[in-house]
Amino acid sequence: MVIKTMKMSMSHCLLLVLVAGAQADWASTTVANRTAGQTLEEAVKKRLEAQSHTIEHFHMEDIHSFYWWDSKIEEDQEVRATIDSEVPFATLMEAIAAEHPYDLPMIVSSALPPEGEAAAADAPAVELKYVMGMALVNGTTAEIAQGLAKSIVEVKYAACAQVEKHGDSGNDFYITLKTLSASKEQVVVDFGGLEFEWMPIRANKAYEKWLEDNVIIRSHAGEL
Ligand SMILES: *[C@@H]1O[C@H](CO)[C@@H](O)[C@H](O)[C@H]1NC(C)=O
Ligand SMILES: *[C@@H]1O[C@H](CO)[C@@H](O)[C@H](O)[C@H]1NC(C)=O
């Protein structure tokens, strides 16, 4: 990589974040509430410490989520918990999966971008099949932000959408989707008012399968 100026562009920063995410790792999951999040953190910490690993950082956000379950849309107030550690994602994922209270937890992290030439030469090839999309919805109400999130899940352009508050105004929200890479185009065409930023992700195998089972790629976008 040739960096011509001292000042790094935003895209370089993003690339470095994604590349860093491929080795030393963070993982995000969802739980029912903050108490459950704390319990999970303590259990994962114990498990990693037993293998001489540590948790570097842990944080939680309140989210309102929409997702498909048993052929219908579920709507929940949940907590997203993110754990940073120096261990590879596979180790972190295993520890979280072993302690998680859900039957089918979401355990996600970033994957390499296609142009991730900075990855170690011996790093395994990364499948860029799954993505997370994030869009800021400004100056609106929680009902409207949640309505948008729900409608993206209703048409199965994403298997899961989470809405969280951004800042203190009470009028700005982030919508975060988990979906297949192949769904990005239809989201952009049919929900064009939302400007999603996409990040390739990887997840526990069961969650990846669940994403595949709950996203529909329509033959041509704009069909709705
Ligand atoms: C938090 O969630 C757990 C289930 O994971 C539940 O048993 C518990 O009652 C909840 N606590 C609160 C304060 O809602
Ligand atoms: C949305 O609001 C945030 C502050 O909460 C601001 O930083 C951002 O520029 C705004 N974006 C748009 C598109 O208005």
Question: pLDDT by residue (tens digit) across 121-144?
Answer: 556 666 689 999 999 999 999 999
Find where tokens 């929409």 sit.
66
Give the tokens for residue 115: 């142009």
pLDDT of residue 125: 63
pLDDT of residue 86: 84
Residues 6+ apart with CB under 8 A from 47: 95, 98, 99
Can you tell me the mean pLDDT for 147-162?
97
Is the distance from the beta carbon of residue 171 to the nearest atom of ligand 2 less than 6 Å? Answer: no
CA of 138 to the centre of ligand 2 (A): 6
Q: Tell me the domains of the chain and their CATH numbers.
A: 2-12+24-115+128-213 (3.30.70.120)
pLDDT of residue 117: 43
Q: Model-level pTM?
A: 0.82
Q: How far is Cα 21 from Cα 109, in angstroms, rounded to an integer?
A: 7
Mean of per-residue pLDDT scores for the chain: 85
**In ligand 1, which atom is closest to the CA atom of 35?**
1
pLDDT of residue 28: 96
Lowest-pLDDT range of 12-26, 88-102, 126-140:
12-26
User: Quick one: what percent of the chain has pLDDT higher than 70?
Assistant: 80
Q: How far is Cα 162 from Cα 126, in angstroms, rounded to an integer?
A: 25
pLDDT surpassing 60 at residue 201: yes
User: Quick one: what percent of the chain has pLDDT higher than 90?
Assistant: 72
- Give how far the C-alpha of residue 193 lies from the chain's centroid of Cα atoms, to the nearest Å: 21
